[in-house]
Structure 1
Amino acid sequence: MTNPPTVTVPEPYAETLVSARNLVSTYEAAGYSRAHPAILQPAEPFLDLSGEDIRARMFLTAGRAGEELCLRPDFTIPVSRDYLHSPAAGRPQGYCYLGPVFRDRGTLPGEFLQAGIESFGRTDKAAADAETLALGLAATAHFGRNAPSIMTGDVALFTALVSALDLAPAWKRRLIKDFNRKASLAQDLERLTLHAPNGKADYQGVLAALAGSDPKAARALVTDLLSIAGISAVGGRSVGEIADRFLEQSTLGAAAALPRETHDLVVRFLNISGTLDDAATAMRRLAAEGGLSLDAALDHFEARSAEFRKRNIDARRVAFSCAFGRGMDYYTGFVFELRDGGSDEPLVAGGRYDDLLTRLGSPSPIPAVGFSVWIERLSDSIAGGAS
């Protein structure tokens, strides 16, 4: 870990910084070590693994050797990378942090403070999820927001549903990807259901030629063609990701449309929302009616709800929606946002990202969960003037 950067704020916000530091001190007292990842980061992990919104808002630059760099747009990936390069890698370890992150936010400042935690290596996932939510609620209470709304979802439940469906692998990958990319999956499902191979694009012949070819060779060909054309990124997507989406289209273009009955089943699942108990009952009923095996995912869901109660989190306050996601490509399970009143902007937000460490180079999977605290939104002095 590098030395912490000096954080300076205008005089009116000095009290906010003191409160933020006190908050992080409570995380240290709870056993989370202080992390100080570098502000300047390699851009590739964020371009490959973050959500489209962050990728489109990153501040990019280049090193002397031509490597692409960025000002860190969040802490999760930098803290994860530092953990993997530390002696603690592979073992249970929790970190907390406080510092600036950088995103283009239009009229709002591009530099702003975030605090938070990241927890790695805990195999008691339901308990770790519950602890994460409890610490998130403690953050809002620390700033005097004692009754935020609690919105939760579970990417793993949607993944389990799609995995249980009788669909081609390409369809499964597409739907799972789109869940994290879309605020609402319903429109995309309708588009996929209405998809017809005879609605030919200008490059349909190229897609047909690639269909059924060796995946690695086809990807290398498309990547080379994009690079020759001078295309480095589109809408925040890397060349490799553009190539993957193009090849996916070649597979889907040769397939029949998503069956209407499958579409309706997925839509019914996504429309399930309410209290944790009511949602669990509705999901088990749908699984039984559809002949789907979702027992493992639902058992974990109910175990997590039980852990909430152990931490005195009132389950009646916890809203759940099967369609709720956070738009970040690396989330794999429990996700949540704490909001104030009718605001669409989270005060605290996070979730589980069990695959991220492997994608960052870990030789074996490492469970991980965490959240970020938006200091400016929690602070009366800042949130009141910027909202």
Structure 2
Amino acid sequence: MAAAQKSGLDPKKIETVLALFKDAGHDLVNPPILQPADVFLDLTGEDIRRRLYLTQGTDGTDLCLRPDFTIPVGRQHVASGTAKLPAAYCYNGPVFRQRPDGLGEIPQLGAESLGRTDTAEADADLLALSDRALDAFGASGMAIRIGDEALFAAVLAGLGLPNVWRRRLRDLFGETDKLASAIDRMAGDNATDDDSRDVRLGFLSALEGADPAAAHAVVEDLLSIAGISAVGGRTPSEIADRFLEQAALASGARGHDQAAKTLRAYLALKTDGEAAVQALRDFSASNKLDLDAPIAAFERRLSALTAKGIAPSRLTFAAEFGRRLDYYSGFVFEIHASSGAIGGPLVGGGRYDKLLTLLGAGENVPAIGFSMWLDRIAASIEGTS
């Protein structure tokens, strides 16, 4: 009821949508609002990390108000120890993210599906379920945007880049401007005379090639002299690892012009669902990359979506599109108001096949889910009424 009041939506419609989720086999759960902060600092993107509401327990443990539901639901599933797979959950309640204006308490509904091995059908089921939920709220025919981090990873794998660059670029997928800047840097296109940058690169050059233990000691000593024990939840050791990675990036920031050109061509791909498969095949052939497996998976997903009543013509595939949460690993989607007048998606979701293992599961668990932003849905309905 409280979520309905804060969202501006009819409580009866929220109950209707929850019933829709339950009919699809999702059990209603309510994970704790207070969560261990280190999990979110490690597994969410920079955008979420800097917007956490942080506090501390009496024992000194760093805590935060949950900024999303996916990680708390996953933690609850793993902690139960007896939950069988496949499993499916739904939820209704607030998440908390600091905002420059307005309250940081955001009402959300959502659903998660864990352990299904029929990947294409699971992807289609969750996207179709979110679309039906929007219909139940009275927000029909909204624009659907899709992307696929697995395709981007396959392109990276075929370019012969050093591992440190592959990891860095994949970490930035979905951060369009930062990714473009990193690609420019990889190709040596953004040289600058900025003195502070020269000093930083000088420090990184001194670290590059150094014995890792000695480099760690240098960085930790510098932080200790400055009186810094942690930055953004990262320990001095983790900060030292980051400096060493930056040193490796700085030393290998030239000589990858052709790889940069190929990446820019891939990230520029944008088409509707009907033309997406052929566009990907043409790109693969022209750049002599083996993308047969991820393209086949992409095509199976489109067929499964069509079988669920979502025509490819409703979809926009953008190769650069990734969602700004580090745990996403494959197919991602967002549903936006057709008018474009609402800032941000009404629905956001995707596949996160590695997350539950990172949360302590004893085996890999394929998983996909989505969240619905109830305040945005209410605003979109009001704007069309």
Q: 1:307 to 1:211 in 2, by over 3 A?
A: same
Match of residue 327, structure 2, among 317, 327, 330: 330
**Which is further off, 243-252 or 109-118?**
243-252
Q: Is the 8 A contact 2:185 2:253 kept in 1?
A: no
Equivalent residue, structure 2, for 1:179: 173
Q: What are the equivalent positions in structure 2 for 1:305-384 lying under 5 Å apart?
A: 305-340=302-337, 341-342=339-340, 343-380=342-379, 384=382
The secondary structure found in structure 2 opposite 1:117 is strand
- Structure 1 residue 14 displacement after superposition: 7.5
Equivalent residue, structure 2, for 1:288: 285
For the pair 1:92 / 2:89, whether they are aligned, the reply is no
The secondary structure found in structure 1 opposite 2:173 is helix
The Cα offsets for residues 13-52 of structure 1, whole Å up to 9 and x where unpaired, read as 6763332232112111110011110010001111111122
Q: What are the equivalent positions in structure 2 for 1:1-387 lying under 5 Å apart?
A: 8=2, 16-89=10-83, 91-182=85-176, 185-194=179-188, 201-213=198-210, 218=215, 222=219, 225-226=222-223, 229-231=226-228, 236=232, 238-239=234-235, 242-340=239-337, 341-342=339-340, 343-380=342-379, 384=382
Amino acid at match of 1:355: K
Q: 1:100 to 1:364 in 2, by over 3 A?
A: same
Q: Once superposed, what is the RMSD of the aligned Cα atoms?
A: 2.7
Amino acid at match of 1:238: R
The secondary structure found in structure 1 opposite 2:317 is strand
Q: 1:157 to 1:227 in 2, by over 3 A?
A: farther
Q: 1:10 to 1:366 in 2, by over 3 A?
A: closer
Q: Is the 8 A contact 1:52 1:237 kept in 2?
A: no
Q: Which runs of 5+ in 2 are unaligned?
A: none
Amino acid at match of 2:55: T
CA distance in 2, matches of 1:166, 1:12: 50
Q: Is the 8 A contact 2:4 2:11 kept in 1?
A: no
Which TM-score applies when normalising by structure 2?
0.89
Q: Is the 8 A contact 1:126 1:300 kept in 2?
A: yes
The secondary structure found in structure 1 opposite 2:15 is helix
The secondary structure found in structure 1 opposite 2:198 is coil
- Structure 1 residue 312 displacement after superposition: 1.0
CA distance in 1, matches of 2:4, 2:131: 27
CA distance in 1, matches of 2:4, 2:77: 32
Identical residues among aligned pairs (%): 44
- Structure 1 residue 228 displacement after superposition: 6.0
Q: 1:90 to 1:187 in 2, by over 3 A?
A: farther
The Cα offsets for residues 53-77 of structure 1, whole Å up to 9 and x where unpaired, read as 2111111100011110011111011
CA distance in 2, matches of 1:219, 1:131: 47
Amino acid at match of 1:130: A
Amino acid at match of 1:297: P
Amino acid at match of 1:37: P
